[in-house]
Chain A
């Protein structure tokens, strides 16, 4: 029973971080119709940015987090504005391939710049933890969880309430109509992609605190983000939270009761099942 409770807590804490990881991917996918295969590489870059601010300049990782997000926003904005916008009207394969190429470039650049060694962002309070009803809760994981959920809610409010958020949603729904109402898609696309990259950067900074960084983590994080986006659907950040929590719980339960080597089978098995039974995601509208 204690084991189950601890497993549930671990799964939920992990799931919060997963939601933030997937959020940027789902946003870009929903609005620009691009599945960004370099998303995991953005997460990796965010992790390294935070790591170097912490180890080089001694800045607390949670203070470095907004700086990391701002840097990744600029990076994503410029990338979309000057590169991805050039192929946005090409068939789906081409944008998929372009982002794959970007992923390769970023991964190898990271290997050259940062070396292939494992890095962890390790502040003095990294080992702190407390117990809740018998379950051990590491402090940094709880903070990471809270920040992840908070950022997701901020995005939700931004999309739902602000003028810019409405413009982004309008572009996602109908590009032609949005243009007629004065939305400039070039900058909206760049902005959306920038926000997606910033969210990835934030997720990377948190990932660096709770886990280990190396240049090759990108691919598997992209794959996980995919799974979450599919489970949660692309329509609302709240769906993505649910998707992240489900994946976190499934992984934690699988490693607890079946074996750690089966976590990928379980998550991808769910993915295949969800796609066959409900192609629009568990929480998406049926069309």
Chain B
């Protein structure tokens, strides 16, 4: 497809998305908020996982810190939502920068598992602190305004996607891709790998924390298990890998397609829905390992051979 056509398509899609709350039913708007927040989270994960190649399970920690930062600021210190959101984000970014320096030295599975451990530890710490309301969690003031939250989430997706688009074509982004492809070579070429990785981790953290803060105020209740849920982090990864890691629109597409599928299924048959979801993942990994974004880009050229080519490239 021509770039100008793509741009027009995206702009039209955005206008339609922004208009949804005024024409659709409340349940669709709520589904939309969840889908958009997941898209934003996936886009955040895309920076550290997709571009930099570090499979983070710590993004749910940033999401949780964003939720709790916002909630604590609003409840304990009676600050407005906007300031709470900023506070939560700052906490998450500081946390990412501090821990990033230590754990971004680990490679591959080791990094993934270390961040997984971090998420477990954070859940337990938050469950035992007075200020976070221990196990019972916190109840935020109620604000009836699904439209507001929908538009907020949509803006977050747009901002996150713009950041990723900037990364994809900047010196910073090329540095990250170099780190993903070969970290030693990147360092030898003069990329300050530690600084780049910590920066990518922190950016990723900021987006996750913003999504967490918005979600907390929308849902008005948070507790340690749901705020630091690793399942959410797994979702970010699935959505990103399904859509196309290291691409600009892939994570957003992935979120739209998979949220749609699981929503349709869960309203009809709930037990089989999970089974089918797993099967979709398995089939997608085998036949389109580079995601929907790559499928759209190259299907014109290869047609149905595209799937066979993918299998041939990755099989033993």
Contacts and interface: CB of A to CB of B under 8 A. Distances in A.
22 contacts: A85-B315, A86-B315, A87-B315, A88-B314, A88-B316, A89-B313, A94-B241, A94-B289, A94-B314, A96-B237, A97-B237, A97-B238, A102-B282, A103-B278, A111-B271, A112-B275, A226-B113, A269-B121, A275-B106, A275-B110, A279-B105, A279-B110
A90 B237 CA distance: 16
Closest 9 CB pairs of A and B: A104-B278, A101-B281, A105-B278, A265-B124, A268-B120, A108-B275, A101-B282, A268-B117, A90-B314
Contact of B237 (A91, A93, A230): A93
Contact of A94 (B114, B275, B278, B285): B285
Interface centre among B49, B124, B238, by most chain A C-beta atoms within 10 angstroms, is: B124
B281 A272 contact: no
A92 B109 contact: yes
A269 B117 contact: yes
Interface of A: 29, 35, 83, 85-94, 96-98, 100-105, 107-109, 111-112, 185-186, 189, 223, 226-227, 230, 261-262, 264-265, 268-269, 271-272, 275-276, 279
User: What class of interface size applies to chain B in its complex with A?
Assistant: 35 or more
A132 to B, nearest CB: 33
Interface centre among B106, B234, B278, B313, by most chain A C-beta atoms within 10 angstroms, is: B278
B279 interface: yes
Contacts, number: 131
Contacts of B82: none
Nearest to A185: B316
Contacts of B106: 275-276, 279
Contacts of A89: 313-316
A268 B121 contact: yes
Interface centre among A108, A262, A279, by most chain B C-beta atoms within 10 angstroms, is: A108
Contacts of B282: 83, 98, 101-102, 105
Interface centre among B113, B116, B285, B315, by most chain A C-beta atoms within 10 angstroms, is: B285
B55 interface: yes
Given A93-B245, A97-B238, A101-B282, 9 more contacts: A29-B109, A86-B314, A87-B285, A97-B281, A230-B113, A261-B124, A268-B117, A271-B114, A279-B105
Interface in B95-119: 102-103, 105-106, 108-110, 112-114, 116-118
Given A83-B286, A97-B237, A275 B113 contact: yes
A87 B313 CA distance: 9
B277 interface: yes
A269 B272 CA distance: 36
A78 to B, nearest CB: 14
A180 to B, nearest CB: 16
Nearest to B115: A272
Contacts of B274: 104, 107-108
B125 to A, nearest CB: 8
Interface centre among B117, B125, B234, B238, by most chain A C-beta atoms within 10 angstroms, is: B117
A65 B277 CA distance: 32
Contacts of A223: 116, 120
B311 interface: yes
A262 to B, nearest CB: 7
B271 A108 contact: yes
A265 B121 CA distance: 5
B271 A112 contact: yes
Given A35-B109, A98-B286, A101-B285, A272 B278 contact: no
B315 A104 contact: no
Contact of B275 (A86, A87, A105, A230): A105
A271 B117 contact: yes
